[in-house]
Amino acid sequence: MAAIRMDGNALRDEVVAGLAQRIEELGSPDICLATLLVGDDGPSQRYVNSKHKKAAEAGMVSRHESLPASATQAEVETVVRSLALDDSVHGILVQLPLPDGLDPEPVLDLIPAEKDVDGLTERSMGRLVRGRPGLVSCTPLGVMRLLEKYDVPISGRRAVVVGRSTLVGLPLSLLLNRKGTDATVTMAHSRTADMAGVVREADIVIAAAGQARMITADMVKPGAAVIDVGVSRTEAGIVGDVDFEPVAEVAGWITPMPGGTGPMTIASLLENTLTAAALQGVVTLT
């Protein structure tokens, strides 16, 4: 029996519509998402444009700052510092990666935790580790929303996260493992012995290593949920970390790539922006 296809596009649109309704019920306050793009990378430009399009659909105000690839570290930091100090801006997203020669860490350090809608700063990660209220990385949050939407059992189940990045692997492991969610989590990586054997034991597989089609059908436990976060650009187009068609014949649930976790990253960004406005006292959420 083929796996249930977890449609990230449909869920994104559902989340955006829900946000629009909530914002209207709150009196349509001007909740502002600001983005910064350095350079002229085509995929990054398209991704930022899609974020602003969906922000408008959610009833949010969006603001975009752009700098040339030749911008200095000081110029980038000046823009972020200005956004951080602007009370009309409630969420700040710096589109990564930055061009060669620019260090993202000092840039991210300038973003206040309550405006860190990408959930990337040390303070946001620290809040996640400590279980305190805060903003969570968008892709991991989107994965959790997909698991919830499709009623994938998590509590007491074994989850394997392939990839240990601070962007996806680490925060997702924390989200799956925390009290109330209660998965038993293994984080696998390039040095993991018997990767196939480790993955085969999982009820939930999160593939976030960035290696095209590395998760094959023989590595997947029948009926497991397989979430593909990896993105590789090939001559055939965008492919994920999961060998989709064969794995779909074994898994119980599966996300396509594209059309799975990517759209939910944008939905979670907008969800975070509303949460950020609440953290700043602009709105009260119930």
Instruction: State the catalytic residue, choosing from 7, 51, 115, 241.
Output: 51
The answer to whether the beta carbons of residues 261 and 227 sit under 8 Å apart is: yes
Residues linked to residue 62 through DSSP beta bridges, in sequence order: 33
Instruction: State the catalytic residue, choosing from 7, 116, 118, 243.
Output: 118
**Known catalytic residue: 95?**
yes
**Known catalytic residue: 45?**
no
Strand 184-188 with 158-162, pairing: parallel
pLDDT in the model for residue 235: 80
Q: For 55-70, how does the pLDDT look when each residue is reduced to its tens digit (9 = 90+)? A: 999 999 999 999 999 9
**Known catalytic residue: 116?**
no
Please list, residue by residue across 68-106, b when 16 or more beta carbons sit within 10 angstroms of its beta carbon and e when fewer do: eeebeeeebbebbeebeeeeebbbbbbbeebeeebeeee
Q: Which residues of the chain have pLDDT under 50?
A: none
Q: For 90-130, how does the pLDDT look when each residue is reduced to its tens digit (9 = 90+)? A: 999 999 999 999 999 999 999 999 999 999 999 999 999 99
Instruction: State the catalytic residue, choosing from 95, 115, 116, 221.
Output: 95
The answer to whether the beta carbons of residues 202 and 212 sit under 8 Å apart is: no
Instruction: Spell out the domains of the chain, with CATH numbers in brackets.
Output: 27-119 (3.40.50.10860), 138-261 (3.40.50.720)
**Reported pTM:** 0.95
